[in-house]
Amino acid sequence: MKIPVLPERIFFVLLIIFIALNITLVINSLKIKKFYHSCRQELTSAVESIDINEHILINRELNTIKNIGLQINTKQMVSDEKGSKRSIVGLLNDSPKIIFRYSELNCQLCIEDEIQILKKYIDAIGFDNILFFSTYNTTRDLFLFKRMNQLQDFEIYNLKEEKLNIPVDSLNIPYVFVVDSFGNVFMLHIPERTKPEYSEQFYKVVISRLASK
């Protein structure tokens, strides 16, 4: 049986089409590579143009979002300044609470600066709606901190186990958050000492939210 042979003219036409297709593929491939290279350059330039402080703030905002809607461990025990223990749920009621969480190992100047900002809004927020959860190895250090920052009117609760079971705990930095009576986090702020205006804005929003409840 004879294998049919393509006419020479058709063969050359097919050959030209094949070569043209390959040339097109090569050109498109080069264009795609050029496009991705251009995109990568633009992204690199954009990242390099961001100030290091902006990097920090972006990361803090991302870390904030991870905690919204989560529930803290309300069964966690805390100790008051006299050493009496009670569960966190016993400190919560129908009114949302603002909790300032920090440890003696955190940046002390950061904590002190944030407390000074928070103090401006005590009357608007409500004295009974603010809680301090700290971690100190000794009660003496807790009392010293309280006196230095003029927090005598506040009860500072000590959290020995250091965890509230929300992601921000792992960052080991001071933070402020708002919870409802069930311990659900619906607002959270990670202070940045170089940007006190962010803290100011946070407390203003908190006041507005509390007023609407």
What pTM value is reported for the model? Answer: 0.71
Under the banding of pLDDT at 50, 70 and 90, the label for residue 142 is confident
pLDDT grade, residue 183 (50/70/90)? very high
- The tokens for 32 are 């795609």
The residue-averaged pLDDT of 18-26 equals 59
Rounded Cα distance between 131 and 202, Å, is 16
SS3 of 109-174:
HHHHHHHHHHHCCHHHHCHHHEEEEECCCCHHHHHHHHHHCCCCCCCEEECCCCCCCCHHHHHCCC
Can you tell me the distance from the alpha carbon of 153 to that of 127, in angstroms, rounded to the nearest whole number? 9
At residue 133, the pLDDT reads 93
Q: Which of 33-37, 90-94, 150-154, 198-202 has the lowest mean pLDDT?
A: 33-37
pLDDT higher than threshold 50 for residue 32? no
Higher pLDDT, 114 or 7: 114
Q: Which region among 8-12, 89-93, 113-117 has the lowest average model confidence (pLDDT)?
A: 8-12
Exposure string over 28-46, b if 16+ CB within 10 A, otherwise e: eeeeeeeeeeeeeeeeeee
**How confident is the model over 46-91, as pLDDT tens digits?**
445 445 456 566 677 777 888 888 999 998 899 888 888 889 999 9
pLDDT category at 98 given cuts 50, 70, 90 is very high
Cβ within 8 Å of residue 104, ≥6 positions away: 134, 135, 136, 137, 141, 145
Find the range with the poorest average confidence among 40-44, 108-112, 126-130. Answer: 40-44
Instruction: Tell me the average pLDDT of the chain.
Output: 78
